[in-house]
Every structure is written in C-alpha cells, then in structure tokens.
Amino acid sequence: MDIPADTAPAFDLVTYFFDKASRQLNLSDDIHELLRRPWRELTVSVPVRMDSGKVHSFTGFRVQYNAARGPYKGGVRYHPNADMDEVRALAALMTWKTAVVDIPYGGAKGGVQCVPGEMSVGERNRMTRRYTTSIAHLLGPNRDVPAPDLGTDSQTMAWMMDAYGSLYGHTPACVTGKPIELGGSVGRAEAPGRGAVYVLEEVLRHAERPPKGTTIAVQGFGQVGSWIARTAADLGMTVVAVSDVRGGVYNPRGLDVAALVRHNAEAGTVAGFAGAEKVSSAEILELGCDVLAPAAVEKVLHEKNADRVRAKIVLEGANHPVTPRADAIMAERGVTCVPDILCNAGGVIVSYFEWAQNIQAFRWDESRVNSELRRTILGGYATVQARAAGEGVTLRDAAFDVAVERVAKAVQLRGFV
C-alpha cells in the first residue's frame, strides 16, 4: 500500500491506517466500503451579530461517522482550519477511539471555522447557540453527544446544553465536558492528560524503566498538554520542556510544573517562565529526552522531521500529530508511538462517565472517576499491547486492528451486510 504524502487531505491520512487494518483483518469489500465513509455530514451557515453591529456568517460542520456501537460521540472545534476535511478525519478517529477502549459509542466531530481568541464572550455565546440550534435535530443523548475540543471549553458546553434545552427541555446528557455546577463530571478536564500518563506508566513498565527520572517534553499547554505535564510531574517524571502557540521553555534539569501552571494562569502563556531557556515549539520536538508528547495540533511530526526525533517514546496527546510517513520512519527507527486513538481516549472515557451519571441523575466522586478511567484505558492498552506483541506490529497498527474489528462486528450483528 502506498503511504499518502504529508500534503494529502487529513481524511486520507487517517484512512490510510483504517485501510491497513481492513486488509490485515481481511474485511469483505461490503464491510470495508461501509466503514470507509461517514454516515452523515452536515454543513450549516451560522450567522452571528457581532459586537460591531454587523452580521458575520460563519460555517459550521457536524460529521457523524459511524454509530454501529452506540450514539455518535465527539468534540466541537472552534478553529480557523476547521473545515469539512479536518472534521471528517477527526470523526473517523473518534469512531476508532471509542471502539479501542470499548465504550458504547460511535464517532462524530463538529467544528466552526472561526478565530475564537479574536471574539468576545458575547459573540462566542451567540455563535454557539446558533450553531447548536442549526444541528440540534441530529443531537440528543441517544443520537449524538458533543464535547469540548480545540478552542471550546466547559462554558461552550453550558451554552450548547442551554440552547438544546430551550428546544427539547432540560437534557444534561446532550453534551459532556460541562461545568460541574451544570452536571459535569469531576475529573473530566484532567482526563485526556491523566489517561495518557496512565498509559505511559504501563509502556515504561513494559520497557522496565521507572517513571521517576524519566524526562518528558510536552508541546501544547492547554487542556491536554498541561495535564500531561502535571500528572507526569506528580509521578516523579522530569518535565524538561513545554510550549504553546506563543513559545516554549526548556530546562534540562526539569521545570517546576506547579510554578509553571501559576505563570501560565497569570501570563496566558508558558513563554517567559523564569529559570528556563527559550525554545521554539518546533525545536521542542527534537530535544534530547525520553518521552515526547505532542499535545497541540495535528501533523507536527512529518516526513521532514521524524528522523530527528530523539525521544524513544512519542505520547500522542493531540489527534493525528504524526503523519503516516513519519509513523513509518519512526517505526523503522524503533521509536514507540502511543497512538492518539488510545493515548488521549481519557477525555471520551470520562465523557462517557459524565453521560452515564447524567442519565442516572447521580454523581460519582473523583476517586471513582479516576479509578474507572485507569481501569478502562489500561484495559484498552492491555488488549492493544498483547495484539502488537502477538502479531509483531506497532501499537498503532494493533490499535486500529482492534478498533476496526469491533466496529465491523457491530455492523455485521446489526444486519447491515
């Protein structure tokens, strides 16, 4: 199979791994075709009266990729590059992600093409409500359940819940990642980062390396990256570098992560943190360290820099941060990539717990959330690791094999083919 160029559409890059799994699993042509395309795509115009008094029409998307295993599930992204191709690729990834950790959902993704940082709170509130009402007929606890992603947060989910509720009545389970006060789950914000580090601990255990003293560099210091850094530091790992869109900081002896979190809260960036050297977000990918965690945006490791990665483990906090060509180069060099669909699944796992709590009108405490998160994500890792070891393939190939097999089985059992 030809490996697509890094410049190929995002959906083709993601689907390359699906095609590989489909061939490995010997799927029939009928099932292959059924799983290779989204089940539903919607593009909407989102007119918003801006603070200037003018109306601006944004473009919004919702892609429902596959719901064979349960309601569609996936985040909503506010970003200038959120287009149909990117949203479709992310919806496919969500389908494989929910399957690999065996939670009862399908996969979806949404987005609005905008620059959220340049919009006022009022503008974002109005845009979120209009987007929600435009796609509301596709949503619902048993249909499709959005969550936060790049550029959106718990406040965005509160607005979505309110807009949905004004149409259909109070329905907290219609979105996850809500504020705790409105039915959100404790531990949801921390979950993608925490889950990634739980998996990292197991990867290190298999490599017979203690977490203490393991060095880690993290690109991105948002909802995912900051919690990777904090959880890694709590386990005694040495966080040597972090970056965000405005710059990065590096100290080979380790950064004081608690102080860094305070600096970031005050300055709005990790850049300028005292007691560390300046480093660019691109340089961070090539630093000498044990673990590299790309936790910002997609395709940061590609054909041109994959051979310069010095870390032995790449922990994919972001969604598709590694292109297929970079994946092949790093596999050849013996770098272990912990694939996005497993690595950052902690977010959707705790979203599942939030949805379950809302449906039961019941609350779990944080220790229950964290222990169930650990059990679920490590269950996924154990299955993937055993398959990788048994078949002599990478963790990514094994993860796609497990996920695609599960979705194919569900499609078959439902009688589609």
Residues 6+ apart with CB under 8 A from 1: 16, 19, 20, 23
192 counts as binding ligand NAD under rule CB under 6 A:
yes
Out of 10, 89, 91, 150, name the contact with ligand NAD by CB under 6 A. 150
Q: How many amino acids of this chain bind ligand NAD (CB under 6 A)?
A: 24
Per-residue interface string for the shown chain with ligand NAD, residues 313-332, x marking contact by CB under 6 A: ----xxx-------------
Residue 37 DSSP symbol: S
CB of 29 to ligand NAD, least distance (A): 32
In terms of CB distance, is 25 or 356 closer to ligand NAD? 356
In terms of CB distance, is 90 or 237 closer to ligand NAD? 90
**Strands of 55-66's sheet in order across:** 40-49, 55-66, 107-113, 72-79, 144-148
What SS3 state is found at 44?
A: strand
What angle separates helix 346-360 from helix 366-391, to the nearest 10 degrees?
140
The whole-angstrom separation of Cα 377 and Cα 380 is 5
CB of 283 to ligand NAD, least distance (A): 11
Beta bridge partners of 294: 219
281 counts as binding ligand NAD under rule CB under 6 A:
yes
27 counts as binding ligand NAD under rule CB under 6 A:
no
244 counts as binding ligand NAD under rule CB under 6 A:
yes
C-beta of residue 14 within 8 angstroms of C-beta of residue 324: no
In terms of CB distance, is 205 or 308 closer to ligand NAD? 308
Out of 146, 148, 184, 380, name the contact with ligand NAD by CB under 6 A. 148
CB of 149 to ligand NAD, least distance (A): 5
112 counts as binding ligand NAD under rule CB under 6 A:
no
Whose structure tokens read 């959880």? 231
In terms of CB distance, is 238 or 319 closer to ligand NAD? 319
Q: Is the dihedral of CA 404, 409, 415, 417 positive or negative?
A: positive
Residues 6+ apart with CB under 8 A from 129: 159, 162, 163
Out of 123, 149, 354, 405, name the contact with ligand NAD by CB under 6 A. 149
Burial 213-252 (b: 16+ CB within 10 A, else e): ebbbbbbbbbbbbbbbbbbbbeeebbbbbbbbeeebbbbe
Per-residue interface string for the shown chain with ligand NAD, residues 371-410, x marking contact by CB under 6 A: ----------------------------------------
146 counts as binding ligand NAD under rule CB under 6 A:
no
Out of 113, 219, 238, 385, name the contact with ligand NAD by CB under 6 A. 219
C-beta of residue 287 within 8 angstroms of C-beta of residue 250: yes
What SS3 state is found at 410?
A: helix
Task: Show which residues are catalytic.
Answer: 109
243 counts as binding ligand NAD under rule CB under 6 A:
yes
Stretch that binds ligand NAD, among 81-89, 223-231, 358-366, 397-405 (CB under 6 A): 223-231
134 counts as binding ligand NAD under rule CB under 6 A:
no
CB of 350 to ligand NAD, least distance (A): 9
Out of 25, 44, 138, 297, name the contact with ligand NAD by CB under 6 A. 297
The whole-angstrom separation of Cα 135 and Cα 208 is 49
Characterise 54 by phi-psi region: left (phi > 0), alpha (psi -120 to 50), beta (else).
Answer: beta
Beta bridge partners of 230: none
Instruction: Using CB under 6 A, list all residues that contact ligand NAD.
Output: 148-151, 192, 219-225, 243-245, 281, 295-297, 317-319, 344, 347
